[in-house]
Every structure is written in structure tokens, then in C-alpha cells.
Amino acid sequence: MKVLMNKSDKSVKNVSIIGGADGPTSIFIAGRTGKGPLKVRIKNWLYEQRRKRIAKCIRPNPHSLKQVTAFMKREYAAREMSKESRQYQDMKDGLREALIMQNRPELLKGLAEVVRPKEYTRETMEEMFRQIERRREAASKITDDQFTMDFHVYEICIEGGRMEIEIDYLWDVLGMSYSGSKKAMRKLRQISRRLHLYYGVTEEDIREESKRYSSLLTALASVD
């Protein structure tokens, strides 16, 4: 999971947790790297131990994405986002580009891979982002006949917060993002865990440690 925070506003309402469907654009931070403070290393170690313990308890109990949709509508009154909205289109475009890169990179005609610079300077960063923009433009020109999706976004709203669930029934994608007050975030995190658990994993997912398995493990290992 990735945590995004607006540095100009320290309120909890500007924090979002995003997991599941991976977008096509990565953010690179130039600067010093190292082992980090002792407190951080201990925290990371505890997290890894928690993942190992939870991994031993995961058992196959899969449900389809159609079943997940019916479950969240029944349990949490989830509603589908309008396909005419700009937010829906932006989310679809981002996932579409990522899926093309992963599954049909030849459609991008050599633009799938962005060359990362050896040194991060203003010029090399600008060139990298130009490559990303060219790839985005190339992806937008690929027709639905060339690359088909069955993409939907559902929303769960609670007091003080909301969750968005991205689903593509054709490509077996389940992604969740949520934001809100501290109290709402705890409740939304619990809902996210329950949805991941309901979606579950197959024996093959466990054996191969698939993305579906990894998403479930990450959701269960996250701390309130």
C-alpha cells in the first residue's frame, strides 16, 4: 500500500491509502538512502514478522469479482460511479495504460519501458516525464477493439470518509482506495480487509504468491 499526503496540509483528511490496482506512473525521489533510523528498522522488522505469521494462516476460499460486488452492495450499500464522470475516466485511463504495459506492451510500439536516468537532474527528469507523456498519448490512441476492458468503480460512503473500489471483471483487477478522518480511516481499513478476505485466494494463488495473494496479505498485515 502507498500512503499519499498533501504536505501543505497536515490534517488527517488529506491522507489516502491506495492498494490493489497499480497505476502506470511512478514517483521517483532523489536524495540520500540508507538503513534509516533504528525506530524505523524495528517497525519494518515487526511488520515483516507479522506478514510471515499471517501468511501461515491464509487458506484458499475464493469468490469471484461478481460475488464481491454483490457482497459490498449488500453489506455496505456500495454504489457504482457514473461512467460519464471525469474521475471515472481518469481512473480507467490510468489502469488501462498499466494493463496494456503488463499484458500487451507491443501495442505501445517501443514506448512501454521508460528509461530511468543514471543521474537525477532537472534535464534527465524532464526527459523521463516526456517519455511517460508519450507513452500515455500512445495508450490513449489504442482502440477498445485492440484492448478491451470491463471497468467499474464503486463507492462506499460512511460518516467522515469514503472508499473507492476499482474492478475490472475481464482482467481480474480489484483495487481499493480510501480517505477521511482518523476514525473513518480505521473503519474503512476494516472494510477493506473484509472485502479482500471475501475475495480470497485460490490454492494456486498461495502456491505462486500471486498479486491477489500479495494484496490479501498486505491488507491483513496493515495496522490500525
Contact 97, 139 (CB under 8 A): yes
Cβ-based neighbour number of residue 53 at 10 Å: 10
Torsion angles phi and psi, residue 137, rounded to 5? -65, -40
Contact 165, 156 (CB under 8 A): yes
Residue 224 confidence (pLDDT): 64
Residue 35 confidence (pLDDT): 61
Contact 19, 175 (CB under 8 A): yes
Q: How is 53-117 classified by DSSP, letter by letter?
A: HHHTT-------HHHHHHHHHHHH--EEPPTTSHHHHHHHHHHHHHHHHHH-GGGGTT-SSPPPP
Q: What is the mean pLDDT of each run of 10 residues along the chain (224 residues)?
A: 39 40 42 66 91 95 98 98 97 96 94 89 93 95 96 98 98 96 95 97 96 94 78
Q: Which residues contact 178 (CB under 8 A, 6 or more apart)?
A: 16, 17, 161, 162, 163, 164, 185, 188, 189, 191, 192
How much is the pTM?
0.77
Residue 20 confidence (pLDDT): 43
Residue 58 confidence (pLDDT): 96
What the block records as the C-alpha cell of 126 is 524532464
Question: Domain segments of the chain: what residues?
Answer: 59-83+148-224
| DSSP designation for 20 | S
Burial of 114 (0-12, 13-18, 19+ CB in 10 A): middle
The rounded distance, in Å, linking the Cα atoms of 196 and 205 is 13
